[in-house]
Amino acid sequence: MKNSITPSFLKKYHPALLGWYDENQRKLPWRETDDPYAIWISEVMLQQTQVRTVIPYYTRFMDRFPFVQKLARAPQQTVLKMWEGLGYYSRARNLHRAAQTIVHKYRGVIPQDWDQIRTLPGVGDYIGAAVLSIAFNLSYAVLDGNVKRVISRLFCLDAPINHSSAKKKFSLIADKLLYRPESGLYNQAMMELGALICAPNEPVCPGCPINFLCDAVQSARVTDYPKKIKPKSTPSHQMVAGVVVNANTILIVQRPENGLLGGLWEFPGGQVLEGEDTRNACIRCIKESTGLNIEIRDYVTSIKHAYTHFKIKLDVFMCHTNSQSIKLNGPIGYRWIGFDDIRKYPLHKAMHKFLPSVREAMEKSRSSFQV
C-alpha cells in the first residue's frame, strides 16, 4: 500500500471520483427518488443480483407495493410470486417481515438509527449503510464487491476480498475514504466505478477518473488485484421430481419457509442416493415426502441448474396415483391443481426450466389428463 489516505490524497480523490460520477452515472429508477422505502427495496434487490436483471423486478414490485404499509399487509405468497425468478428468496421473506416491523414498531417510517435499522430482518452492514447514506445522507461507508475491488487496486492490497478476515481492513479504509458532506452520492459513485470501470476481468483503466492515484495502475499490476482465495470445487447432486397426476389434477408441494427456496412450490421429489436408479429414486422420494404410492408413466426431461454452493441435475418423470390422501414429511403444504393454475403459485427457477416440457408431455397424454 504505497498510497496513504492523507488530506492531500483526498483533495485529489474526491473531486475526481464525484466529477466522473456526475457525468457518467447510469439513469436508474431508484436514483430518481429520495423515498427511503424505494431505496431500501432497490438495495435489497441489488444485493447479489445484476442491475439489468433488477430493473424490471423493481419496477413491477414498486407498482404492486408502492409504500411499506401495502407490502406489510400483503400475504407472503404474493410477495414471493412478485419475487419469482430473482433468486435468493430469503431476501423477499426478510423484506416482508421487515416491512411488518417498520409498520408495527416504527409507525411506517424506516429508522434512521444504525442500531435500529440493523435489527430489521435481512438488514446487514451493507444494506444498513446503503440506506442510511443514500436516503438520509448519514456518514456510513458502503462495502460491497465493487467497492472492495476498487480499494484493492487503489492500494494494492494483498488481503483477499472473498474472505471474512479481510472485512475489517477494507471497512477501515472505506470509512477513511468516505466523503462525509455527501455520503450517499459518494457511495453510489464508488459502486458505479466498480461496476462500469474497475470491472473484475477487464477494467477500463484509461477511462478511470482516479487512475493517477491507483497503485495498481502506476505499478502496472492491475491484473494482480484483487486477491482472492480459490473457492472449493462446487458439488453436484442428482435430483428427481415427479409430476403426479390424479383425476385431472397434478400435485405440488410447498417447501419449508426457512432454508433454501423457502415457501416456494414445486413438484415432489428429492435427492438420488448413491447407486440408485433415478426412476426408483423418484418413487421412493415421493412416497417418503407425501405418503403416495405412484407409478411412473414416462420420462419427461432432464435439466441442470446451479445454486450458490452446489449444482444439480434434475430428472423429471410423469407419474400416476390412485389416491389423493397425503401424509406430508418435509413439505409444509400441498395442492391438487389444474396444470394452468400452476402460474398462480411462486415457483423456483429450476421448475420454470422444465415446465414447457411438462406441458408438452401432458398434451401428448390428453386421454388421461386434459390440460
Active site residues: 43
| Partners of 65 in beta bridges | none
Q: Where are the alpha helices (DSSP H) in the chain?
A: 7-24, 36-46, 51-64, 68-73, 76-83, 90-106, 114-117, 125-136, 145-155, 167-177, 183-196, 215-218, 278-290, 349-364
Rounded Cα gap, residues 127 and 110, in angstroms: 12
In the three-class reduction of DSSP (H, G, I as helix; E, B as strand; rest coil), residue 292 is classed as coil
Nearest CA-CA partner of 269 in 311, 237, 306: 237
What are the DSSP calls for 94-136, one per residue?
HHHHHHHHHHHHHTT----SHHHHTTSTT--HHHHHHHHHHHH
DSSP class of residue 184 equals H
Nearest CA-CA partner of 362 in 249, 228, 227: 249
